[in-house]
């Protein structure tokens, strides 16, 4: 089992990121959890190591600190073959409408940071000719809506970036997966009242991501119903859409 | 995170609106326990109101990290919200299995300890508590005490089987059993009536696992007819040659989820009767020995997630008592006769022989335990009152993890240890700090 590809989780504290780490560890993959204040993830590190008998490392990572990114990638040992970016932040839409810094922060954490870092990894993986890049984006990026277009537009950017990366690396042996989870019951959404039938558990996201990695899927919606919902939302003519409150 | 919702147990009866909090760290728990009227909740598999706080309920499921595993002694240290199913997932592939497991793997370690659950091997191995090396318990002041058979022994004894009424179990060290395979060698026997069933169970006490399913609609000379299922952990040599290379891999069972609340009419006398008759016929045909995977053997019901919806929105109640050995046959006959006469057959009627156990609060004691479940309605609740009386008459006692409706007087009459618990709680102030809907109803 020792030669299974190491998996790097960027955003290792998030419920979705941890669930993905558990899923790969269960299959025997070594894990690296990257996060801000990584040392506070010792319990989670230990948990995964005890459960699955794999090595789990912690490493410090801030997606807004772009200057540090080349060093971050350079110091990783063993070098991961499967890179998962879970980084993101919902932000406060109404604050972002008035406050440029707040809006910029959301844009950077959902687009700039994740895109730049997976771009760096893509470069390295392309050299060796294999590996998988998995980006957690969002259905919110499929069409901008009044209530969350700052977050949504950044996710749209990330989705487009992943799409381009996939296109570029298709014949270089590196596979890129875009994940659009739909609603997920996590800390991010703990205070929201989400419809049960449309809301996935983090373990469900993890299972889908794991399977998509095995079967080299390109774009996945976690609950299939979301594919349909988004097709409908995207099909509404703009003249009508602009008057709706969704 | 704090929510106000309807809180209920597995039987979905009763439901109480209340506040539920889901801490992720010890520090967050400390902040919550300062509040009076709180109770810890594991995975909500107790049937009634044991895990419904009188003011607030502490959902422990996010406290689910494993801490260490010692593979020379098979000791696992883990947070209380870890599920038994997680333990199996992690350690069965490495040759370890829980020493004691209830009929569902979806229980937390905290819940298994607080109810001191029993399995099909109680007559050989005792209850879950026997394999707990130590526990860390937080009191209302936020202070954490490590308790075991060697230190803070009183706290240890009160907490095992204490239904969360002594504080919050944060983490525990439990011992696992080494196994060679993930398979069980099962042997099923048929008994035409209760006397024969008891006789068969007594004669097969050497079997590690033993449990009987009773056809509780059978009357007269068939009263108590049963299928007795014995089991042993299969050794490597018990496996067919082609399985010996992968002794821990078993076929993945397909999970199904019961999709909606069944209309009450779905579960009437006729369906219960049909089910019992079919089960009986199937059981009779499949007697003899067979190799069964661990999941199907220990957890047949877990294959259908949310099966509790089968009983509709009104929910259902369990009745589980234990009768001392010398009263078992008489008491069981009376209970089964009363049940069959009421025409209120239960889908699941499970009979099990307990071995000797002497503990401060735990349910098991030497004798026979019977578990029945019924839809929650006025008629069955009245029947349960009559079954309580029969149990009292035969010197039996009741399982709090299954109870949703017992009267305080009945409980205290059946089990003098409950008054000791109440006295202890009154004296220490625990009665105000940690309390559930059940502890209030039963004056604990
Ligand atoms: C299908 C099915 C089959 C079952 N079979 C059996 C069986 O064979 N044998 C058996 O003994 N039981 C059986 N049970 C009952 C079940 O094992 C117990 O009710 C067990 O306590 C449930 O664990 P839980 O984690 O869901 O706890 P909950 O139901 O959430 O809580 C149960 C009790 O434990 C306390 N508790 C939970 N966590 C903590 C904690 N961290 N600290 C302090 N107190 C805590 C609660 O306050 C409550 O009093 C069965 C239940 C089901 C649904
Ligand atoms: N929950 C949903 O319904 C839902 C739906 C669709 C998509 N998603 C996406 O799924 C991903 C995971 O979300 P979640 O629900 O698990 O929420 P979460 O717990 O809030 O996860 C977000 C993660 O991103 C990290 N992060 C944010 N900014 C960062 C930065 N500058 N540097 C490093 N890490 C940073 C956070 O780290 P810290 O812990 O250090 O803050 C956190 O671990 C996100 O991308 C989210 O947009 C979620």
Mean pLDDT of A166-183: 96
Q: How confident is the model at residue A235 (pLDDT cuts 50, 70, 90)?
A: very high
Residues from chain A contacting residue B1 (CB–CB below 8 Å) = 187, 190-191
Tell me how far apart the alpha carbons of residues B430 and B412 are, in angstroms, rounded to a whole number: 19
Q: How confident is the model at residue A1 (pLDDT cuts 50, 70, 90)?
A: very low
Pocket probe for ligand 2: among A87, A178, A227, the residue whose CB has the most ligand atoms within 8 Å is A87
All domains in chain A, ordered by first residue = 7-241 (3.40.50.720)
Give me the residue from A26, A46, A52 closest to B65, CB to CB.
Answer: A46
What distance in angstroms lies between residue B315's CA and the mean position of ligand 1's atoms? 18
Please list the alpha-helical segments (H only) found in chain A.
Answer: 15-26, 42-52, 69-75, 93-98, 100-107, 113-128, 149-169, 202-215, 225-235, 238-241
Tell me how far apart the alpha carbons of residues B179 and B296 are, in angstroms, rounded to a whole number: 17
**Angle, CA B72 vertex, CA B71 and CA B75 arms, to 5°:** 60
Taken in order B280, B45, B298, B135, is the CA torsion positive or negative? negative
Residues from chain A contacting residue B90 (CB–CB below 8 Å) = 50-52
Q: What phi-psi label fits residue B343: left (phi over 0), alpha (psi between -120 and 50 degrees) or beta?
A: left
Please indicate whether, in this complex, the C-beta atoms of B65 and A43 are within 8 angstroms of each other: yes
Give me the residue from B67, B89, B94 closest to A46, CB to CB.
Answer: B67
Q: Which helix (H) or strand (E) holds A136?
A: strand A131-136
Please list the alpha-helical segments (H only) found in B219-300.
Answer: 269-285, 294-298
Residue A12 Cα, gap to closest chain B Cα (Å) = 15
From the CB of A62, is ligand 2 less than 6 Å away? yes
Query: Which structure tokens are listed for A63?
Result: 């997606």
Mean pLDDT of A65-91: 96
Pocket probe for ligand 2: among A183, A188, A194, A208, the residue whose CB has the most ligand atoms within 8 Å is A188
User: Strand runs (DSSP E) across B106-261, as ranges?
Assistant: 132-138, 144-148, 168-178, 183-191, 209-214, 226-233, 256-257
The 10s digit of each residue's pLDDT in A104-140 is 999 999 999 999 999 999 999 999 999 999 999 999 9
Residues from chain B contacting residue A190 (CB–CB below 8 Å) = 1
From the CB of B114, is ligand 1 less than 6 Å away? yes
Q: What does each of the 444 residues of chain B score in pLDDT, given as a tens digit?
A: 567 889 999 999 999 999 999 999 999 999 999 999 999 999 999 999 999 999 999 999 999 999 999 999 999 999 999 999 999 999 999 999 999 999 999 999 999 999 999 999 999 999 999 999 999 999 999 999 999 999 999 999 999 999 999 999 999 999 999 999 999 999 999 999 999 999 999 999 999 999 999 988 788 999 999 999 999 999 999 999 999 999 999 987 777 776 666 665 455 666 667 667 777 777 777 778 899 999 999 998 888 777 788 788 889 999 999 999 999 999 999 999 999 888 776 777 899 999 999 999 999 999 999 999 999 999 999 999 999 999 999 999 999 999 999 999 999 999 999 999 999 999 999 999 999 999 999 999
Please indicate whether, in this complex, the C-beta atoms of A50 and B67 are within 8 angstroms of each other: yes
Q: What pLDDT was estimated at residue B175? A: 98
Q: Which residue out of B1, B90, B171, B309 would a mutagenesis test of the A interface target, given it has the greatest number of A Cβ atoms within 10 Å?
A: B90
- Higher-confidence residue of B257 and A79: namely A79
Q: In chain A, positions 49-68, which contact chain B (CB-CB < 8 Å)?
A: 50-53
From the CB of B7, is ligand 1 less than 6 Å away? no
- Strands B226-233 vs B168-178: parallel, antiparallel or unpaired: unpaired
Which atom of ligand 2 is least distant from the CA of A87?
Answer: 24
From the CB of B85, is ligand 1 less than 6 Å away? no
Query: Which structure tokens are listed for A174?
Result: 């590196």
Q: How many whole angstroms from its chain centre is CA B204?
A: 23
Would you please indicate which residues of A are annotated as catalytic (active-site) residues?
151
From the CB of B54, is ligand 1 less than 6 Å away? no
Tell me how far apart the alpha carbons of residues B272 and B226 are, in angstroms, rounded to a whole number: 16
Number of helices (H), then strands (E), belonging to chain A: the values are 10, 9
Please list the alpha-helical segments (H only) found in B222-361.
Answer: 269-285, 294-298, 325-341
**Closest Cα in chain A to B82:** A47
Please indicate whether, in this complex, the C-beta atoms of B66 and A46 are within 8 angstroms of each other: yes
B296's CB contacts (< 8 A; 6+ apart) are B253, B303
Q: What pLDDT was estimated at residue B263? A: 61
Buried/exposed A42-78: b ≥16 CB within 10 Å, e otherwise: ebbbebbbbbbbbbbbbbebbbeeeeebeebbeebee
Eight-class DSSP state of A64: T
Residue nearest ligand 2's atom 35 by CA: A87
**Number of Cβ atoms within 10 Å of the Cβ of B367:** 23
Does residue A170 surpass a pLDDT of 50? yes
* Residue in B3, B16, B85, B1 with CA at minimum distance from that of residue B441: B16
Q: What is the pTM of this model?
A: 0.94
Alpha carbons within 13 A on the beta-carbon side of A212: 27
Eight-class DSSP state of B140: T
From the CB of A16, is ligand 2 less than 6 Å away? yes
* Residue in B180, B204, B205 with CA at minimum distance from that of residue B125: B205
């Amino acid at each position: 089992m020792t030669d299974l590809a190491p998996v790097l989780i960027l955003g290792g504290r998030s419920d979705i990121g941890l669930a993905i780490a558990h899923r790969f560890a269960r299959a025997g993959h070594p894990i690296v959890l990257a996060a801000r204040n990584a040392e506070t993830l010792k319990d989670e590190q230990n948990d995964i190591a005890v459960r699955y008998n794999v090595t789990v490392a912690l490493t410090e990572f801030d997606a807004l600190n772009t200057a540090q990114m080349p060093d971050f990638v350079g110091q990783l040992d063993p070098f991961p073959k499967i890179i998962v970016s879970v980084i993101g932040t919902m932000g406060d839409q109404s604050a972002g409408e008035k406050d440029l810094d707040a809006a910029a922060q959301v844009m950077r954490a959902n687009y700039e940071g994740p895109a730049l870092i997976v771009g760096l990894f893509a470069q390295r993986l392309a050299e060796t000719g294999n590996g998988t890049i998995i980006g957690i984006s969002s259905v919110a990026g499929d069409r901008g809506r009044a209530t969350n277009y700052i977050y949504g537009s950044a996710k749209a950017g990330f989705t487009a970036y992943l799409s381009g990366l996939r296109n570029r690396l298709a014949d270089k042996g590196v596979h890129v997966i875009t994940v659009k989870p739909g609603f997920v019951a996590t800390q991010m959404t703990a205070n929201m009242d989400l419809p049960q039938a449309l809301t996935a558990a983090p373990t469900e996201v993890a299972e889908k991501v794991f399977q998509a990695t095995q079967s080299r899927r390109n774009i996945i919606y976690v609950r299939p119903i979301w594919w349909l919902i988004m097709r409908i939302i995207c099909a509404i003519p703009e003249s009508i859409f602009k008057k709706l409150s969704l | 995170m704090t929510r106000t919702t309807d809180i209920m147990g597995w039987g979905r009866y009763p439901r109480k609106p209340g506040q539920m909090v889901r801490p992720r760290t010890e520090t967050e728990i400390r902040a919550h326990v300062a509040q009076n009227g709180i109770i810890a909740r594991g995975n909500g598999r107790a049937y009634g109101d044991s895990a419904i706080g009188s003011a607030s309920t502490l959902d422990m499921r996010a406290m689910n990290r494993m801490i260490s595993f010692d593979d020379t002694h098979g000791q696992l240290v883990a947070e209380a919200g870890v599920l038994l199913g997680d333990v199996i997932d992690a350690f069965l592939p490495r040759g370890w299995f829980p020493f004691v497991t209830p009929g569902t793997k979806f229980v937390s370690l905290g819940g298994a300890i607080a109810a001191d659950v029993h399995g099909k091997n109680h007559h050989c191995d005792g209850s879950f508590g026997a394999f707990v090396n130590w526990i860390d318990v937080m009191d209302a002041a936020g202070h954490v005490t490590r308790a075991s058979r060697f230190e803070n022994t009183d706290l240890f004894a009160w907490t095992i089987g204490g239904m969360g009424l002594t504080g919050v179990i944060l983490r525990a060290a439990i011992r696992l059993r080494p196994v060679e395979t993930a398979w069980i060698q099962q042997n099923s026997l048929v008994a035409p009536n209760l006397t024969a069933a008891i006789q068969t169970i007594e004669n097969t006490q050497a079997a590690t696992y033993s449990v009987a399913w009773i056809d509780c609609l059978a009357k007269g000379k068939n009263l108590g007819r049963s299928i007795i299922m014995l089991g042993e952990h299969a050794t490597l040599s018990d496996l067919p040659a082609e399985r010996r290379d992968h002794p821990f891999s078993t076929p993945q069972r397909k999970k199904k989820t019961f999709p909606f609340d069944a209309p009450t009419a779905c579960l009437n006398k006729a369906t219960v009767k049909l089910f019992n008759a079919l089960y009986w016929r199937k059981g009779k045909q499949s007697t003899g020995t067979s190799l069964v995977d661990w999941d199907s053997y220990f957890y047949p019901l877990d294959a259908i997630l949310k099966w509790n919806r089968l009983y509709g929105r009104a929910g259902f109640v369990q009745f589980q008592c234990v009768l001392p050995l010398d009263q078992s046959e008489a008491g069981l006959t009376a209970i089964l006769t009363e049940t069959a006469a009421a025409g209120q057959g239960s889908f699941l009627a499970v009979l099990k022989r307990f071995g000797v156990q002497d503990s401060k609060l735990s349910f098991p004691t030497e004798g026979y335990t019977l578990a029945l479940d019924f839809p929650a309605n006025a008629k069955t609740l009245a029947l349960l009152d009559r079954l309580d009386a029969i149990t009292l008459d035969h010197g039996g006692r009741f399982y709090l993890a299954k109870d949703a409706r017992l009267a305080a007087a009945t409980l205290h009459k059946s089990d003098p240890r409950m008054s000791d618990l109440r006295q202890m709680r009154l004296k220490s102030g625990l009665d105000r700090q940690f309390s559930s809907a059940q502890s209030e109803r039963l004056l604990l």
